[in-house]
Every structure is written in C-alpha cells, then in structure tokens.
Structure 1
Amino acid sequence: MRINSNTLINGLNVVLVPYRDYHVPKYHEWMKSEELQKLTASEPLTLDEEYKMQKSWRDDEDKCTFIILDKKVYNEKNNEIESMIGDTNIFIINKDTATAEIEIMIAEESARGKKLGSEAVIAMMFYGIKYIGVRIYQAKISFVNEVSINMFKKLGFLEQSRSEVFQEITLEKSVSADWTESLNRQFNFEIQNY
C-alpha cells in the first residue's frame, strides 16, 4: 500500500518500517523455515517470487505491511537488516465494512517471548485505524500457534470460527474509541516520515 511507503512507526521497543526490496533476502531466508511456514500457513517461494510479493505488498491498495525492527539493536547498529525481527500486515478483506485481516510474525527466535510482537501488532492496528480507516480486525491463526491466539485474545479479540480444513481459528475485534485510546496509551507510538 502506497500510504505507508514513507512512514516509520517508532515505539518503545520496536520500530516499524515499510517493506522494501533490500529487506527481501533476509525475509526469504526466514521463510525457508518449516516452522514459520506452518505457523503462518505459508508456502515456500523462490527469491524471485518473494521480490514480486514484496512489490505486490507495496503497490496493492488492499495490502499494508511493515518490517519490524528491534529498536535496541537498531539504535546500536543503525542497520535495518541486522535489526529485522519480523513483519506485520493488514489485508483489507471488505471495503464496505472496513474489515481487515491482521497478521504478525516474529521470525527471529531471539526476539520471541519479549512482547515485541504484541507491541508491533498494536502499532499496526493503531496505524490501520487512524490512517486506513479499519473498523473490524480479523486474525486467522493456525491451531498450533497458541502464542498468537493468546496474544490476540488478550487484545480483546473473540473467536468467530474454526476451520478444520485449514486448521485455523478466526478471531475478531470491532474497533471502538475506548479500545483505540487504550492501544495508543499502551505504547504511545510516534508516526514519522521515513
């Protein structure tokens, strides 16, 4: 989505930057992991296909993605590639109801269990509400990804359905003014030009 092509979201412990072509090689290495493929319900892509996917996420009007950087590492090294820990995405699934699917992946094992994913997904949801106009969020999560299921439930998402065929649960949260303010208070994100 072009709207975030020059946007940086600065949080307490994470920095979100637009997904650019120079991020693709590291992202591609992550997605060779069978564990990540299973947790994200993804198929392995060739490097060329990954570059095309990055371009699609940049150009398509119904997709928005950010690369998640570990802020501490980024501040120390001033290097996005070394600071990359995952990504977070919004995919508009119904423009009439302003419904979007939200996704989060913390690919770097060393960054897991530190609540960096929670902060990143909250930043992304806040961005989606304020700049894209999202009114309903859905998260489709693999049955085996209990960490993500629990994280979204703590954020107020409720189970809507289960698919035995796809082995995933769909959680949903309607946006309200109180919830939006609560998200912002948790981390007080700063939106900057990138």
Structure 2
Amino acid sequence: MRLNEHTKLLGQRVILVPYEARHVPKYHQWMSSPTLRSLTASDELTLDEEYAMQQSWRQDDDKLTFIVLCAEIYKKTNDEITAMVGDTNLFVRHDKESQQYVAEAEIMIAAPEARGKGFGREAMLLMFKYAQQHLPLIKFEAKIDMDNAISLRLFESFQFAEVRRVEVFHEVTLERLITDDWLSWLDKQVQLRIEKYDDASK
C-alpha cells in the first residue's frame, strides 16, 4: 500500500518504517526459520520471491506493512538493518455486509534477543492508531495459531475477543470493533508521532 511509503511512526521503544528492498535480505534470513514460518503461517520463499513480495506489500491496495526497528539501537547506529527486529502488517478487506473495511493484523518480533521487551505490543498499538486514522475501518481481527499462547495473550490485552476456532487450520480468530470507547483506551496506551520518511532519513 502506497499510503505509508513516506511515513515513519515513532514510539518510545520502537520506530516503524516502510518495508524497503534493502530490508529484504535480513527479512529473508529471518524467514528461513521453520519455527517463525510455522508461527506466522508463512510459506518458505526464495530470495527473489521475497523481493517480489516486498513489492506487493508496497503496491497492493489491500496490504499495509511496516518494519519494526529497536529505537535504542537505531539511535546508537543510525542503521535500520542493524536495528530491525520484526514487522507488523495489515491485510485490508471489504466487508460486504457492512460495506466497510476490516483489517487483519499481524505482528512478528523475529529477533530472539528482542522478544519480551514490549516491542511487539508498542508496534501493534502504533499500527492500530495509524490505520484507524488513515483507513475507513470498522474492525480489526487477528488469526493466530492455537499453540501461539504469547500472541493470543497479546491480542487479548488489546481487548480483542475470540469469535471462532477452526480446528482444521489450528487457528483462532479474534476481533475488536473500533468504537469510541476503544479509541479512548487506545489513546491512553500509546502516543503516535508521525514523521516524513524519505531519502534523507534513510
């Protein structure tokens, strides 16, 4: 989605930047892990296929993605590749019943040393705030492997509720309507700062 191609989101612990071609080699290295592919229900791709996927995330109207950087490492190194710890994505679809839009949310903290530090929580909260401000959404949803207890707890902490289980896919679907009360709660969780992302900031 070209919506965010010149957008940087800043939090306290993380910085979210658009997924660029130069991020692909490290991302591809992460996804060589069978465990990560299993947890994220991802297929194994060649490096060329990963570059094509990056272009799809940039161009397709139904996909929004950011690379998650550790703010502390980026401040020290000014190097996005060194600071990369994961990514966060939305798949946007049109809901025929309501004639409005729903976004399926994903978060991955790939670097083992970056887990358990609150990076995933803050990155997802920033994505929620940005998306609901810039897209005509009525609801967020998440589809999570039944064995991924950490992700299930995370989305439950965002006030998502389980709506169905599909045993054949070993998957739980959780949803969160975007209501005034929830937006008020979201405002208390995280402060979203937006900066322009261009050649000068890379």
Amino acid across the alignment from 1:46: T
Match runs of 1:154-193 below 5 Å:
154-193=157-196
SS in 1 for 2:61: coil
Give the match for residue 58 of structure 2: 58
Give the match for residue 85 of structure 2: 85
Q: Which residue of 134, 141, 145 corresponds with 1:142?
A: 145
- CA offsets, 1:54-77, max 9 Å, x none? 000000011100000000000011
TM-score of the two chains, using structure 1 as the length reference: 0.97
Of 91-100 and 9-18, more deviation after overlay is shown by 91-100
Of 183-192 and 104-113, more deviation after overlay is shown by 183-192
Q: Does 1:9 align with 2:12?
A: no
RMSD: 0.9
Deviation (angstroms), 1:177: 1.9
Deviation (angstroms), 1:93: 2.0
TM-score of the two chains, using structure 2 as the length reference: 0.94
Give the match for residue 127 of structure 2: 124
Q: Does 1:103 align with 2:106?
A: yes
- CA offsets, 1:26-55, max 9 Å, x none? 000000001101100111000000000000
Structure 1, gaps ≥5 residues long: none
Q: Does 1:74 align with 2:74?
A: yes
Contact residue 97 and residue 136 of structure 1 kept, 8 A: no
User: Within 1, Cα distance between the matches of 2:182 and 2:53?
Assistant: 32
User: Within 1, Cα distance between the matches of 2:7 and 2:187?
Assistant: 17
Give the match for residue 27 of structure 2: 27
Give the match for residue 200 of structure 2: none
Contact residue 12 and residue 189 of structure 1 kept, 8 A: no
Amino acid across the alignment from 2:116: G
Amino acid across the alignment from 1:52: A
User: Within 2, Cα distance between the matches of 1:175 and 1:137?
Assistant: 7
State the identity %: 47
Deviation (angstroms), 1:97: 2.5
Give the match for residue 40 of structure 1: 40
User: Within 1, Cα distance between the matches of 2:137 and 2:21?
Assistant: 26
Structure 2, gaps ≥5 residues long: 198-202
User: Within 2, Cα distance between the matches of 1:40 and 1:15?
Assistant: 21
Deviation (angstroms), 1:133: 2.3
